[in-house]
Amino acid sequence: MSMVQVAGKTYRIVALADGSYDAVRLLDDISMGTFGVGGSLCVASRDGTEAGLLRRIAQTAMRGARTRWSPAVGIA
């Protein structure tokens, strides 16, 4: 488990399985959605969450070495 900050809010990154993560907003403990870093970055947002925001959270987590990232995945 680790933390990232995006757009002034802090999110907890929780490993669900190998290469799969959940992003949880700390402010209200709401899951923003899941993302996977397998062959390419895949995001699945929760109710009302912008996919773009979840993608930014995932990219920030990968850039900050908060996930197990491999160069084959890339950070588009």
Domain chopping of the chain, boundaries: 2-63
The per-residue b/e assignment along 37-76, b for 16 or more CB within 10 angstroms, e otherwise, is beeebebebeeebeeebbbbbbbbbbeeebbebeeebeee
Residue-level pLDDT at 50: 84
For residues 60 and 66, what is the distance between their CA atoms, to the nearest angstrom?
8
Q: Please check whether residue 1 is in contact with residue 11, taking contact to mean a CB–CB distance below 8 angstroms.
A: no
Q: Which residues of the chain have pLDDT under 70?
A: 48-49, 66, 68-76
pTM check: above 0.85: no
